[in-house]
Structure 1
Amino acid sequence: MLFGRVKPLDAILATAEKKSLHRSLGAFQLTMLGIGAVIGTGIFVLTAEAAQKAGPGMMISFIIAGLVCAVAALCYAEMAAMVPVSGSAYTYSYAVMGELIAWMVGWALILEYAVAAGAVSVGWSGYMIGYIEHAFSIDIPNTLVLGPLDGGLINLPAMVIAGLVTWLLVIGTKESATINAILVGIKVIALTLFIILAIPVMQMEQFEPFAPLGFGGISAAAASIFFAYVGFDAVSTAAEETKNPQRNMPIGLIGSLGFCTIFYILVSAGVIGAPGISAQPVMSAIGGILEPGSPQLAQECAARAAAGAKDVVCSKEALAYVLREIGWPQIGNLVGLAAILALPSVILMMMFGQTRIFFTMSRDGLLPAMFSRIHPKFNTPHVITILTGIAVSLFAAFFPVGALANISNSGTLFAFAAVSFAVLVLRRTDPSRKRPFRTPLVWIVAPLSILGCIYLFFSLDSHSIMLFAIWAAIGFAVYFAYSRSRSHVGRGIVDVPEVDNDLQPPPPGAYTPN
């Protein structure tokens, strides 16, 4: 039965009641939390990817992705307020739609967190190598700093940063809210500086043609750019600590997403309008469309660079590259340094989220018990952390950032669509349950969220869709071959143990998930 083996919601909530939090966050604090969580990796790393797919039309792509995030966020907020416990979309699905759907959501979240951590590692590597080359006037061969699809052999810097973060997670080092707030400030200041310097010199002729690959290109770019918004769920999961959540949650969610969308549009306008640089897609010699992150694009970029062409789509550090080309080389280096400083914390939080999902699934009996084994000295789930770190390092070593971001988006979109569907299901099956926040116009907003997630999912490249289908098939096989027979709920074990404090996610404001 599809909706069988539901984990009792009352049992889950009993744990939350023991750990109820003080309601202290207002609309302004939520908005600031959302801005800090959303602005991050995507805008630093994926601007070049978006330009290759949509050209100047990527400005529309930012709006589309932001709107889909907005309706998904309103649905997410209702579930987060009603089920304020760890486990994210996996727990919500288990409480509403049953074990099989919950398993598939948890399985999809592996793509969201682990693959996204690999994408951020590759993005960090691009900024680090660019900074070293320009700050110290040296040329580093591509062989050891780019993956095979990008024209190199292996991306060692990306592997190193992923390994370092894994080590930090194993020994139990936690970031403080103060350090994270400083890092968020560095990112926002760097992007603001970019806007101040790039917007005044932009040339309108750089925006022509606006949509060289049509609306299909804009949709494909929106599917990739979705990665730049992931993190808004930091606002949703703060519902338990929000004063008057029915009023303040929508303000915080829509306010932060609206601010970030405007911010992103200004940044993309500065990139597109930069004089002397092309933000148009790089085409093959015969005029064909080249896939971002493909060997063909890497070869064409190398040939164009040798001929003196300046294409933002060929840069691994687009924002720093633009500033250098418009006469601000030192500021460009500083923007690169800001990315170098800020992105490792994002990798850490994504890997933390991944191990948290695995830990919860293991505690439910759906994964081997060793995955929830705690290190006797460091008090961390070291086994699954090390396994996750190995996987992230391999992703980062051999795959380009755009491909990893798209694969990550496929898992995220599936999870968000499932949460939106769960909101509708629970409105019908349990309408009287207390909801600290209720999604406004839910029978319009939730279907829009589901349709928006489906639209962006099928706007992804065919390889990402195929890989998600293969991943889902593997997930079904693992569930029926192993997890179903070992599930605690299936065996009648429905207790909800206290969550270990050392494994709790950081408090709101202490992390920047994207």
Structure 2
Amino acid sequence: MILDRVKPLDAILATAQKKSLHRSLGWLQLTLLGIGCVIGTGIFVLTAVGAQKAGPGLMVAFAIAGAVCIVAALCYAEIAAMIPVAGSAYTYSYATIGEFFAWTVGWALIMEYAIAASAVSVGWSGYFSGTVLGGLGIHLPVWLSAGPLALGGVEGGLINLPALLIALLVTGLLVIGTSESAKVNAVLVMIKVTALTAFVALTLTSAEFDTSHFNPFLPAGIFGGWGTGVGAVGAAATMFFAYVGFDAVSTAAEETKDPQRNVPIGLVGSLLFCTVFYILVAAGAIGTLGGQPLMDAMGLPLEAGSPELARQCALPQFADALVCSNEPLAHVLKVLGFTAVGNAIGLAAFVALPSVILVLIFGQTRIFFVMSRDGLLPERLSRVHPRFHTPHIVTIITGLAVAIGAAFFPVGQLADISNAGTLYAFAMVAIAVMVLRVKDPARRRHFRVPLVWLVAPATIIGCVLLFFNLPTAAMLFLPGWGALGVVIYFAYSRSRSHLGKGIVEVVDDVAGQETMVPMAPE
């Protein structure tokens, strides 16, 4: 049977219990942690993509995506507190619903993290080219700063060189070993929050703010149509990318005072704060500059990242359009005349986003590493460099894949594909929570999902709803990638699985070393 291999939860917990974690975090620290980890890539980079999908309905899209994340976060918190070890949803699935489904989750996470890192690299490239180089009077030719039109880039584009180079640079840093200081991360959080607060204050009080820009509010309706990826829900499926990172709060449950009270406050509080903040940013951007999407002949928004959208955005009359910008927030302020503040926001993104790329690539290699040590992938991949003491092989493989994706594809397409994998993983975590409630109801839980038989199904329904409102290409990519994974599982992994051979091995840290202190991906 393919569902007969479940890793013993007691063996996993025995390893976790060797750690003595001091419970020192309160609800305020958890809330601030969540805010810092969530605010980042999505709001800096994808605001233009979301506006193209939903127009002013982008504000509704943020609310929908935030609601799905809140219920998913509660499920994640319960199981993360029970199984506080490396491997994320892959490990949780292995300990509850078995090796086969754990493999599918791990395989999806490998894809999710790598493609998300590519998306962030492309977003960083937009701010680097527009704010940093543009501020110096340097303008990269189109063929060096955008992917080819055939892949959703712009006319005349050949390769996004800055995105390629930042991905390779971060990969190099991870190979030689690096650490992220909590103090550095705190500074980056302050930079991001301050920049966005300035944006909201300037745009909402600007003389250019005009309520007529919000009409029509939902140009593509709530649902734009099957497989179109447009409308408020289609935009929510993309803007889901702006919320990923809340798992930092759930994984801190073991270090939280009174987790039953403080974990849900931290999770829901940080997500609610970010949702309101995002809605205000969207309102400021659309109210001042306008956010109506460019439409096709059938009256639907052109697909974000499509060749036709790239062609129209190249026309002079759309030079200032929000939906055509690669650095949307900085672009809005520059058009309004706040050039210095716009440049400051661009610099904030330029400084903060590489750390997100680093964390995403690190997270992908951690999943890759644990699966390799479980025997499901070639164990050669989990070898550690003799000098740098890092899993250099998987890091280099991951970095090259990330760089290639960043070099040739637009940010919107990459984010949608990444979200498909994330939504699948979150749905599986919700299933795992319900399975454990039935199979092991007496197990100690530092945090219990309130109304689990309502919250967990709501998580699954929400993830399915968003998944089926992604563009068709993104929806098809996940099952295609999954089918490849199933072939590899039965052709290679199942026969070499350590658990299948009776070996129960728990890997909690990469080769027992600490190469960095990661923040959650944003």
Find the partner of 1:472 among 465, 476, 482: 482
Distance 1:505 1:423, change over 3 A: farther
Name the structure 2 match of 1:203.
210
Matches within 5 A, 1:249-288: 249-274=263-288, 277-284=289-296, 287=299
Find the partner of 1:229 among 243, 249, 270: 243
Would the aligned equivalents of 1:239 and 1:249 in 2 still touch at CA under 8 Å? yes
Question: Per-residue CA shift, 1:147-168, capped at 9, x if unaligned?
Answer: 1122111101000000000000
Q: State the TM-score, normalizing by the size of structure 2.
A: 0.95
Separation in structure 1 between the aligned mates of residue 319 and residue 216 of structure 2, nearest angstrom: 18
Would the aligned equivalents of 2:370 and 2:507 in 1 still touch at CA under 8 Å? no
Matches within 5 A, 1:99-498: 99-148=99-148, 149-151=152-154, 152-201=157-206, 202-216=209-223, 217-274=231-288, 277-284=289-296, 287=299, 289-303=301-315, 306-307=316-317, 310-496=320-506
Give the fraction of aligned pairs with identical amino acids, expressed as a percent.
63
Would the aligned equivalents of 2:177 and 2:516 in 1 still touch at CA under 8 Å? no
Would the aligned equivalents of 2:86 and 2:508 in 1 still touch at CA under 8 Å? no
Do structure 1's residue 54 and structure 2's residue 66 form an aligned pair? no
Do structure 1's residue 511 and structure 2's residue 502 form an aligned pair? no
Distance 1:285 1:6, change over 3 A: closer
- Measured after TM superposition, the shift of residue 330 of structure 1 is 1.3
Separation in structure 2 between the aligned mates of residue 46 and residue 77 of structure 1, nearest angstrom: 27
Give the aligned CA root-mean-square deviation in angstroms.
Answer: 1.4
Separation in structure 2 between the aligned mates of residue 494 and residue 132 of structure 1, nearest angstrom: 51
- Measured after TM superposition, the shift of residue 175 of structure 1 is 1.5
What amino acid does structure 2 have at the position aligned with 1:279? G
What amino acid does structure 1 have at the position aligned with 2:312? E
Separation in structure 1 between the aligned mates of residue 515 and residue 113 of structure 2, nearest angstrom: 14
Separation in structure 2 between the aligned mates of residue 73 and residue 87 of structure 1, nearest angstrom: 17
What amino acid does structure 2 have at the position aligned with 1:354? Q
Separation in structure 1 between the aligned mates of residue 520 and residue 326 of structure 2, nearest angstrom: 21
Question: Per-residue CA shift, 1:208-237, capped at 9, x if unaligned?
Answer: 110001111001000000000000001011
- Measured after TM superposition, the shift of residue 278 of structure 1 is 3.0
SS at match of 2:17: helix
What amino acid does structure 1 have at the position aligned with 2:334? R
What amino acid does structure 1 have at the position aligned with 2:261? R
Name the structure 1 match of 2:228.
none
Would the aligned equivalents of 1:380 and 1:502 in 2 still touch at CA under 8 Å? no
Would the aligned equivalents of 1:2 and 1:101 in 2 still touch at CA under 8 Å? no
Separation in structure 1 between the aligned mates of residue 89 and residue 199 of structure 2, nearest angstrom: 35
Separation in structure 2 between the aligned mates of residue 331 and residue 426 of structure 1, nearest angstrom: 50
Distance 1:180 1:406, change over 3 A: same
SS at match of 2:174: helix
Would the aligned equivalents of 1:16 and 1:85 in 2 still touch at CA under 8 Å? yes
Q: Figure out how many residues of one structure are paired with residues of the other and give that number.
A: 508
Separation in structure 1 between the aligned mates of residue 508 and residue 282 of structure 2, nearest angstrom: 46
Distance 1:454 1:103, change over 3 A: same
- Measured after TM superposition, the shift of residue 497 of structure 1 is 5.1
SS at match of 2:222: helix
SS at match of 1:209: coil
SS at match of 2:205: helix
SS at match of 1:423: helix
What amino acid does structure 2 have at the position aligned with 1:5? R
Distance 1:497 1:166, change over 3 A: closer
- Measured after TM superposition, the shift of residue 133 of structure 1 is 4.8
User: Which consecutive residues of structure 1, in runs of 5 or more, have no partner in the other structure?
Assistant: none
Separation in structure 2 between the aligned mates of residue 351 and residue 51 of structure 1, nearest angstrom: 28
User: Which consecutive residues of structure 2, in runs of 5 or more, have no partner in the other structure?
Assistant: 224-230
What amino acid does structure 2 have at the position aligned with 1:290? L
SS at match of 1:273: helix
What amino acid does structure 1 have at the position aligned with 2:521? P
Would the aligned equivalents of 1:111 and 1:410 in 2 still touch at CA under 8 Å? no
Separation in structure 1 between the aligned mates of residue 520 and residue 345 of structure 2, nearest angstrom: 18
Would the aligned equivalents of 1:154 and 1:398 in 2 still touch at CA under 8 Å? yes
Question: Per-residue CA shift, 1:55-109, capped at 9, x if unaligned?
Answer: 0001000000000000000000000011111111000000000000000000010
Moved over 4 A (4+): 285-288, 500-507
SS at match of 2:380: helix
Separation in structure 1 between the aligned mates of residue 493 and residue 318 of structure 2, nearest angstrom: 57
Would the aligned equivalents of 2:318 and 2:324 in 1 still touch at CA under 8 Å? no
- Measured after TM superposition, the shift of residue 286 of structure 1 is 7.2
Separation in structure 1 between the aligned mates of residue 11 and residue 147 of structure 2, nearest angstrom: 47
Question: Per-residue CA shift, 1:275-306, capped at 9, x if unaligned?
Answer: xx331011246755311001110001112xx2
Would the aligned equivalents of 2:121 and 2:163 in 1 still touch at CA under 8 Å? yes
Would the aligned equivalents of 1:375 and 1:381 in 2 still touch at CA under 8 Å? yes
Separation in structure 2 between the aligned mates of residue 121 and residue 75 of structure 1, nearest angstrom: 30
What amino acid does structure 2 have at the position aligned with 1:388? T
Question: Per-residue CA shift, 1:429-472, capped at 9, x if unaligned?
Answer: 11111111110000000000010011011110000011111001
SS at match of 1:214: coil
Would the aligned equivalents of 2:62 and 2:278 in 1 still touch at CA under 8 Å? yes
- Measured after TM superposition, the shift of residue 138 of structure 1 is 3.8
Would the aligned equivalents of 2:240 and 2:419 in 1 still touch at CA under 8 Å? yes
